[in-house]
């Protein structure tokens, strides 16, 4: 969704990288791996991680803590960022304390997602937290490797406030990440020279994993320098492009749908591309480009879109109903704007779909509908007969939707 348009200044690119990363974390078109799954991959690629295992019960957590001797960290396995700040990471001193804390976190919700499993790991003494990540720069059609000496939970802030602290290098896909590039990164973020070699190995191995898995993101944050002077991947995040999943059947089986936001799972089932956002105007559009344009116009007219939703071609009643359910399940949605361009999809067919869907999904939320293209007059007649508000142009539709925000309270 985000393109790296202006690569003129360091600030622009850091900002674009941050936005791209943020989008990739919320896009449904990625399979997100749990931390423990990412770490299994790290181990396959010889990237050092702390010792530890998964626990599903407090008793298991205690047992693992006993095996590990000493302080351990309990880490909630939920597919959201910022678990630390949300209380999903706990440092405990003894097996008994591990059991007690585990019983508190298991079953709790972190950012709305239930915690079913904990990763119980040896606690690491941290000297420095580094960021190391790889993402795809679509504009340049190459992998972008990013590193920062100031990794950890505030990396997004670092990217925004002090972009000069983020080092980056693009990788020629035919050459792969080169030793010297990794070394340059190590030098640029000023880690001790004694660790350059180890850092280089980790970067090259992570790059290989990123390529092999068709990952859109492979990230170690933090990659820590321990008080003993070793490099260890303390946290991992891997996102795999949905479109490449067929090449990785083993990964596909690992997909943890139960831990993904339910609307997105639901959307995927019906072949809809859905991304939730912050606003109050629900959008249902056919075609990704038109969906973006619709969101832009809403924003331009002073409104706030609640989501991106592309219902794709052939907007059948089934799909329209599914899309409507998803939109209306969001309590923030106060009005729904439907914008359909009829090409092969006929407007009258879509209008029938909308009518049928509204009969099934009862709601007080007002709808504004703009149909254009094949059989548009017929479509509009069907909607008017059903007492639905129709618009001729997109800007008119946006204005009508904005005017209806706040007219119905749940
Ligand atoms: P996130 O909040 O979901 O990104 O979870 P992380 O696994 O990155 O942990 C967040 C923060 O908790 C890290 O940046 C560390 O500061 C801290 N942390 C995690 N594991 C350990 C550990 O073993 N020892 C210490 N001292 N701190 C840890
Ligand atoms: Mn982290």
pLDDT value at position 29? 66
pLDDT value at position 258? 66
pLDDT value at position 3? 37
Nearest CA residue ID for atom 2, ligand 1:
84
Q: Rounded to two decimals, what is the model's pTM? A: 0.70
Torsion of CA 216, 267, 285, 362, to 10 degrees: -160
For CA atoms 243, 24, 277, 265, the dihedral sign is: positive
β-bridge partners, 147: 132, 167
pLDDT value at position 320? 83
Phi, psi for residue 316 in degrees, rounded to 5? -75, 165
Which has the closest alpha carbon to 187: 202, 199, 175? 199
pLDDT value at position 165? 95
Measured CA to CA, the distance from residue 311 to residue 282 in angstroms comes to 13
Q: Which residues of the chain have pLDDT under 50?
A: 1-12, 18, 20-28, 410
Cα three-residue angle 88-92-97, rounded to 5 degrees:
105
The total number of residues written for the chain in this structure: 410
Question: Which run of H or of E encompasses 53?
Answer: strand 52-55
Helices and strands in the chain: count of H runs, count of E runs:
14, 19
Whole-Å CA distances, 403 to 304, 390, 397: 12, 14, 10
User: How do beta strands 335-342 and 367-373 pair?
Assistant: parallel
Whole-Å CA distances, 80 to 21, 32, 86, 108: 13, 9, 10, 14
pLDDT value at position 50? 98
Q: Among the bound ligands, name the one nearest to the CA of residue 84.
A: 1
Q: What is the DSSP letter of 13?
A: H
Best mutation site among 74, 231, 234, 238 for ligand 1, i.e. most ligand atoms within 8 A of its Cβ?
234
Nearest CA residue ID for atom 9, ligand 1:
84
pLDDT value at position 9? 44
pLDDT value at position 334? 95
pLDDT value at position 23? 46
Measured CA to CA, the distance from residue 144 to residue 128 in angstroms comes to 23
Measured CA to CA, the distance from residue 107 to residue 275 in angstroms comes to 26
CB 201 within 8 A of CB 46: yes
CB 350 within 8 A of CB 318: no
pLDDT value at position 249? 84
Best mutation site among 153, 220, 226, 233 for ligand 1, i.e. most ligand atoms within 8 A of its Cβ?
153
Which has the closest alpha carbon to 170: 151, 143, 188? 143
Domains, the chain? 4-31+126-253 (3.30.470.20), 51-122 (3.30.1490.20), 261-403 (3.40.50.261)
Q: Residue ranges of the alpha helices (H) in 58-215?
A: 58-68, 95-105, 155-161, 179-188, 196-212
- Residue 9, SS3? coil
Ramachandran region of residue 69, left (φ > 0), alpha (ψ -120 to 50) or beta?
left
pLDDT value at position 392? 92
Centroid of ligand 2 to alpha carbon of 77 (angstroms): 12
Which ligand 1 atom is nearest residue 84's CA?
2
pLDDT value at position 350? 86
pLDDT value at position 278? 86
Q: What residues are labeled active site?
A: 131, 219
Q: Among the bound ligands, name the one nearest to the CA of residue 220.
A: 2
CB 256 within 8 A of CB 78: no
pLDDT value at position 189? 97
CB 98 within 8 A of CB 62: yes
Whole-Å CA distances, 406 to 42, 303, 336, 337, 367: 49, 12, 12, 14, 13
pLDDT value at position 362? 81
Which residue ranges have their beta carbon within 6 Å of ligand 1?
73, 75, 81-84, 89, 91, 123-124, 126, 129, 152-153, 221-222, 234-235
Q: What is the DSSP letter of 330?
A: S
């Amino acid at each position: 969704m985000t393109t790296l348009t202006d690569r003129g200044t360091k600030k622009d690119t850091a900002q674009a990288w941050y936005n791209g990363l943020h989008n990739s974390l919320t896009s449904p078109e990625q399979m997100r791996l749990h931390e423990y799954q990412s770490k299994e991959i790290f181990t396959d690629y010889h990237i050092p991680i702390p010792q530890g295992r998964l626990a599903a019960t407090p008793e298991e957590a205690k047992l693992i803590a006993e095996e590990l001797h000493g302080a351990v960290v309990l880490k909630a396995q939920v597919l959201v960022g910022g678990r630390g700040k949300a209380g999903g990471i706990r440092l405990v001193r003894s097996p008994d304390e591990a059991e007690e804390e585990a019983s508190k976190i298991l079953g709790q919700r972190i950012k709305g997602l239930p915690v079913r499993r904990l990763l119980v790991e040896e606690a690491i003494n941290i000297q420095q937290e580094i960021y190391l990540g790889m993402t795809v720069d679509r504009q340049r059609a190459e992998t972008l490797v990013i590193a920062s000496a100031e990794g950890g939970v505030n990396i997004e802030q670092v990217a925004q406030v002090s972009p000069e602290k983020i080092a980056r290098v693009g990788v020629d896909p035919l050459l792969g990440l080169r030793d010297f590039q990794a070394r340059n990164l190590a030098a640029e973020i000023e880690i001790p020279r004694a660790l350059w070699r180890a850092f280089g190995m980790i970067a090259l191995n992570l790059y290989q994993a990123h390529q092999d898995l068709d990952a859109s993101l492979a990230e170690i944050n933090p990659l820590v320098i321990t008080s003993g002077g070793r490099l260890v991947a303390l946290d991992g995040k891997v996102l795999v492009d949905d479109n490449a999943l067929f090449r990785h059947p083993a990964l596909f089986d690992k997909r943890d749908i139960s831990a993904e936001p339910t609307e997105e799972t639901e959307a995927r089932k019906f072949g809809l591309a859905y991304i939730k956002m912050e606003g109050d105007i629900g959008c249902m559009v056919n075609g990704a480009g038109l969906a973006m344009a619709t969101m832009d116009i809403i924003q331009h007219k002073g409104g706030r879109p609640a989501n991106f939703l592309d219902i794709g071609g052939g907007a059948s009643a089934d799909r329209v109903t599914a899309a409507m359910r998803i939109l209306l399940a969001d309590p923030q949605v106060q009005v729904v704007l439907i914008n359909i361009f009829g090409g092969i999809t006929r407007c009258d067919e879509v209008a029938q779909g909308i009518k049928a869907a509204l009969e099934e999904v009862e709601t007080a939320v007002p709808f504004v509908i703009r149909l254009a293209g094949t059989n548009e007059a017929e479509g509009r007649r069907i909607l008017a007969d059903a007492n639905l508000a129709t618009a001729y142009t997109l800007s008119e539709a946006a204005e009508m939707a904005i005017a209806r925000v706040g007219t119905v309270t749940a």
